[in-house]
Structures are given as structure tokens and as C-alpha cells.
Amino acid sequence: MADKRRFDLFADLLVERFPSASRIFDVAGGQGRLNEALTQRGRTVTTFDLRHKHLPVRHYAQRIFTLDEPCEAELVVGMHPDGATRVIIEYAARHQLPFAVVPCCSDNGMPYNPWMRHLQELARTSGFPHVEERTLSMDGRARVVLGAFVA
């Protein structure tokens, strides 16, 4: 069972690290709990996921997030986004946006630590000059990979 605190902890980190990002894409956002947490912090958030049953958040795009999604955000994020992890980084790179992901499972069976290294390397080779890692104070997969074009 994933830690229920993860949405507030991640939302706090995002607001602290990216204070000027007011429009946020929350990719693979499940029920929309991160959307709710970020909305409470004054952000405008669109969640992308396939869930029929979700919270009554203002913007919920019930579809798979792809590189073709029109860019209406200043930050792209994902909490435990499974198969959407790489596309978050690639999309952010394409649109020169910052990103933050809290990876869990890889999309190809790669163990966790190599997966984390792979994602950081993907960010660097995609053009991000600033790639950093933080850790949320919670149980379970808590390491965050962040990328930005300005420090």
C-alpha cells in the first residue's frame, strides 16, 4: 500500500522548487489526489489518467498522456506514474518545461536503482542541464527526479 501522505509531500516539494509554475500537468494521476493537493496550494492542474472513478477535480483528462498532447502547462509531474514515466521527461524536454517524477515500477522490468539511473540519464541526454534528486519523507518509493532548464 503506497503512503497516503505522498500527495501532500510531493505538492509541498513542487511548490517550493517551482514557485512560479502555476499551470501543471499531473500525468498518470489516478484518482486526482495530487491535483487536489496542488489546487489547494493555488495551482491550476490537469490530471491525465484513464480512471472513470475519480475525484471531482476541475480538470481531469480521461485519456493516455502522449507526446502529442498540446502544451498548456509550465510544469509536468508524475507520482508513481508507471508506464508514463519516460513520456513525462520526453514531453518536458520537447517543450522546454521543468519536470518532477516519483518513479516506482519501470515500464520494462528494470530493477528500481538502474531505473532511477536510467531516468536521470534520459533527462540529461534529452537536454536538461539541471537534473537533481530529492527524497520525500514517506514510506515506499520516495525518490524524486527533477529536471529544469534554469537552476
Ligand X SMILES: C[S@@+](CC[C@H](N)C(=O)[O-])C[C@H]1O[C@@H](n2cnc3c(N)ncnc32)[C@H](O)[C@@H]1O
The span from the first CA to the last CA of the chain, in angstroms, equals 34
65 touches ligand X (CB under 6 A)? yes
Q: Given candidates 43, 80, 86, 141, which one binds ligand X under the rule CB under 6 A?
A: 80
Stretch that binds ligand X, among 11-19, 35-43, 44-52, 137-145 (CB under 6 A): 44-52
- Secondary structure class of 3 (helix, strand, coil): coil
For residues 82-111, which are near ligand X according to CB under 6 A? Answer: 82-84, 87
8 touches ligand X (CB under 6 A)? no
Compute the radius of gyration of the chain from its Cα atoms: 14
Task: Number of residues interacting with ligand X: please give it, by CB under 6 A.
Answer: 17
CB of 129 to ligand X, least distance (A): 26
CB of 31 to ligand X, least distance (A): 7
Q: Given candidates 18, 48, 99, 128, which one binds ligand X under the rule CB under 6 A?
A: 48
The DSSP annotation for 21-77 comes to: --EEEEET-TTTHHHHHHHHTT-EEEEE---SS----SEEE-S---TTS----SEEE
- Consecutive H or E run containing 131: strand 130-135
Count Cβ atoms within 10 A of the Cβ of residue 70 and give its class: 0-12 exposed, 13-18 middle, 19 or more buried: exposed
For residues 11-30, which are near ligand X according to CB under 6 A? Answer: 27-30
Q: What is the binding site for ligand X (CB under 6 A)?
A: 2, 27-30, 48-50, 64-65, 79-84, 87
